[in-house]
Amino acid sequence: MLHQTRGRITRDNGAAIDALKKRAAEWDVPLTEEASGFCFHVWNSRATLYPDANGVTIEISSPEQRLLQTLQGSLTELFEECLLCPKWDEVAEGALAPGMALMQVASVTRRSPGFTRVRLEGHDAERFGTGSYHFRLLIPRRGRPPCWPRIAASGRTVWPEGDDALHRPCYTTVAYGDNWLEFDIFHHTGSPTSDWVKEDPTGRTVGIIGPGGGACPEGDKLVLFGDETAMPAIIRMLQDAPGEVRAFIKASADNLCELAGDPRVSIVANLTEALAETEFDAGTYVWFAGHADDAKIARTQLLERGMNKRDFTAAAYWS
């Protein structure tokens, strides 16, 4: 089923089209010019601008309501920056931010010296177990009642600020089932999420928003490189990959958890050196995630080795 909505800007259609073209270039997404309009393609969704003498009509269509609302909010923000205020036929005013779900913390289990597994329960859990692997965990500031992001009358999502601002780190769904999902937190110093989990939040409500950020790359041969923060994604890819997979992980042996003894997994001391030393056949997809500096080095190395951008991921998981 396709979800759709329509909006209207009643002045200066040239400015709206220029803003959309600029956004497409910034995000590196296609903007196609069709017979009567300009079509912006992102998140499996499309927004088409139809200019006329009195303004511009905006039509959005998307396979998922949350993606439609995300694009509606994002375009509202973009056009408001140019002092153009779209009026939408429908706005889910007061609803939780698109893609957000409220979940209960069902359990917190120490799995290894470095990792704690958290189980969340809620009716929306299944959505986070299929498709993209990742979500943002929304943690209210200590001692504050939760104040969740909601859709405003304009169509934009308004995030709480000041003392009510939420901590919003990314995590990876590592296991899921009927009405539950689990994720692993790697502990490090200065981590508000580690502090939150050390307090044992069992029974508390948290928000999660997503899913997003991709899943297992397609292809018969995969080579994965990652540190502890990437381990949950590597666990998923080792389960999901249909073909041959090798994984190089920078972690101590006592933090390998279920990957200990897996013949496809090697522990390495330095991820970018391991990448440089690893040979792979043509047609192999290379996935790399870790510190932002390492991801940058990996991207340069892979391009220098002649790889096409479509055939690798080099992601900054922390900085």
Q: Is 43 in the site for ligand FAD (CB under 6 A)?
A: no
Q: Which residue is nearest to ligand FAD (CB)?
A: 191
Q: Is 135 in the site for ligand FAD (CB under 6 A)?
A: no
Q: Is 186 in the site for ligand FAD (CB under 6 A)?
A: yes
Class of residue 184 by CB neighbours under 10 A (exposed 0-12, middle 13-18, buried 19+): buried
Q: Is 131 in the site for ligand FAD (CB under 6 A)?
A: no
User: Residue 226 in contact with residue 203, Cβ under 8 Å?
Assistant: no
Q: Is 146 in the site for ligand FAD (CB under 6 A)?
A: no
Q: Is 38 in the site for ligand FAD (CB under 6 A)?
A: no
User: Residue 264 in contact with residue 247, Cβ under 8 Å?
Assistant: yes
Q: Is 169 in the site for ligand FAD (CB under 6 A)?
A: yes
What DSSP state is assigned to residue 252?
A: -
**Beta-carbon contacts of residue 297 (< 8 Å; ≥ 6 apart):** 272
CB nearer ligand FAD, residue 24 or residue 274: 274
* Only segment of 1-9, 26-34, 183-191, 274-282 that touches ligand FAD (CB under 6 A): 183-191
Size of the site for ligand FAD (CB under 6 A): 22
* Only segment of 147-155, 165-173, 240-248, 251-259 that touches ligand FAD (CB under 6 A): 165-173
Please work out, in degrees rounded to the nearest 5, the angle formed at the alpha carbon of residue 229 by the alpha carbons of 185 and 99: 70
Q: Is 294 in the site for ligand FAD (CB under 6 A)?
A: no
The span from the CA of 126 to the CA of 118, in Å, is: 16
* Only segment of 38-46, 97-105, 186-194, 258-266 that touches ligand FAD (CB under 6 A): 186-194
Class of residue 306 by CB neighbours under 10 A (exposed 0-12, middle 13-18, buried 19+): exposed
Q: Is 190 in the site for ligand FAD (CB under 6 A)?
A: yes
Point out which residues pair with 55 in neighbouring strands.
52
Residue 275 sits at φ, ψ, to 5 deg, of -65, -45
* Only segment of 11-19, 92-100, 189-197, 254-262 that touches ligand FAD (CB under 6 A): 189-197
Q: Where are the alpha helices (DSSP H) in 44-191?
A: 65-81, 125-129
Sketch the per residue contact string, 205 through 244, with ligand FAD: x for CB under 6 A, - otherwise: --------x---------------x--x------------
**Distant-in-sequence contacts of 259-268, Cβ < 8 A, 24+ apart:** 259/231, 259/234, 259/235, 262/238, 264/238, 265/238, 268/225
CB nearer ligand FAD, residue 30 or residue 192: 192
User: Residue 120 in contact with residue 105, Cβ under 8 Å?
Assistant: yes
What is the smallest separation between the CB atom of 181 and ligand FAD, expressed in angstroms? Answer: 11
Which residues form the interface with ligand FAD (CB under 6 A)?
Answer: 134, 167, 169-172, 183-186, 188, 190-194, 213, 229, 232, 317-319
